[in-house]
Structure 1
């Protein structure tokens, strides 16, 4: 009798372990190892259309946040989606942003390298006059919509969840990098007295 209970308990444990997702490779990363694999596999579809996806992202971003156009001197006059879709300047910037996201996605398995890279990118946004850390969060929904448009039927509920976790992790670290690079009031006062 004890033998049957042992077998039953062992089979329940094995089944439970089978259905549980694997633990994250690094506890700082919100994605499990399996989710990271799915993200990288799915990302190939985005990468093949990286510029197009980036343009979709920016058109959607500006539809929802017209005030952000003023931050971009090269294409601040592009007030319609038609003008934005045909702009080489916007395409170049969209491609640059998407390649930055590509580097972040590919670095997910090395969280230290990921954080160093993404936080550095966040810090560089202090060079943009009028930029605020909260602007990073405005990218989340346009990014998800652009990914959905590019991936089509491959954008399943599971992939959507993985993309949400990924973009939030990237945005959190962009914000952290931006905030950590902000000069403190004490530093500003000292710099002004030089």
Structure 2
């Protein structure tokens, strides 16, 4: 049992081992993944909360979505909206799950960028999502965990933004 605990402690507290691609340390990956675990219990409901908060903060962002014509007040009851929230959260989930595998992570993020490029989404939209997520998370996460999320989202949305800026 002691070896198991020592190994667990070693990999969840290291701050001196930044990944050469993402610059995320083992500790930062651990903080993001462990704080994401409760969100996984109901991805759709949490996605609804996230996107409603996003549209409250940045109403113009709703225009990038397939439910752009649904009034904000009616979004919560829309199954079309719920379905898209579920898709968004499963994408975030795959990003979080891949934080420890830089090559896989970059490929997932580039695919997200290509998919959003078709819809003329600009990098600023992802920065709005980042700002919204951090504000929402700051209500119940520690400063250290928020800093790990900030860095992780900066890395992730930087890759997505670079893909959005490419000519396809």
Structure 2 partner of 1:58: 51
Root mean square deviation of aligned Cα: 2.0
Counterpart of 2:157 in structure 1 is 171
Structure 1 match to 2:37: 44
Q: Distance in 1 between matches of 2:121 and 2:83?
A: 20
Is the 8 Å Cα contact of residues 55 and 61 (structure 2) preserved in structure 1? yes
From 62, 71, 84, give the equivalent of 1:69.
Answer: 62
Q: In the alignment, does 2:93 pair up with 1:102? A: yes
Asked if 1:137 corresponds to 2:127, the answer is yes
Does the 8 Å contact 1:53/1:147 carry over to 2? no
Closer, same or farther: CA 103–20 of 1 in aligned 2, 3 Å: closer
The alignment covers a number of residue pairs equal to 156
Offset, 1:79: 2.9
Question: What TM-score comes out, normalization by structure 1 length?
Answer: 0.72
Moved over 4 A (4+): none
Q: Distance in 1 between matches of 2:97 and 2:33?
A: 7
Aligned to 1:189: none
Superposed CA offset, 1:102-152 (max 9, x none): 111111111111101111111111221x42232221111222234346xx3
Look up the match of 1:161.
147
Unaligned residue ranges in structure 1 (runs of 5+): 1-18, 184-194
**Scaled by the length of structure 2, what TM-score is found?**
0.82
In the alignment, structure 1 residue 114 sits paired with structure 2 residue 108: no
Against the structure 1 CA distance between its residues 148 and 95, is the aligned structure 2 distance closer, same or farther, given a 3 Å change threshold? Answer: farther
**Based on CA coordinates, which of the two structures has the bigger radius of gyration?**
1
The superposition leaves residues 44-103 of structure 1 with CA deviations (integer Å, 9 ceiling, x where unpaired) of 111112112211111111112222222223x213333x4222221111111111111111
Task: Give the 3 Å change call, closer, same or farther, for CA 58–34 of structure 1 in structure 2.
Answer: same
Cα separation, 2, equivalents of 1:119 and 1:105: 15
SS at match of 2:122: coil
Q: Does 1:78 align with 2:64?
A: no
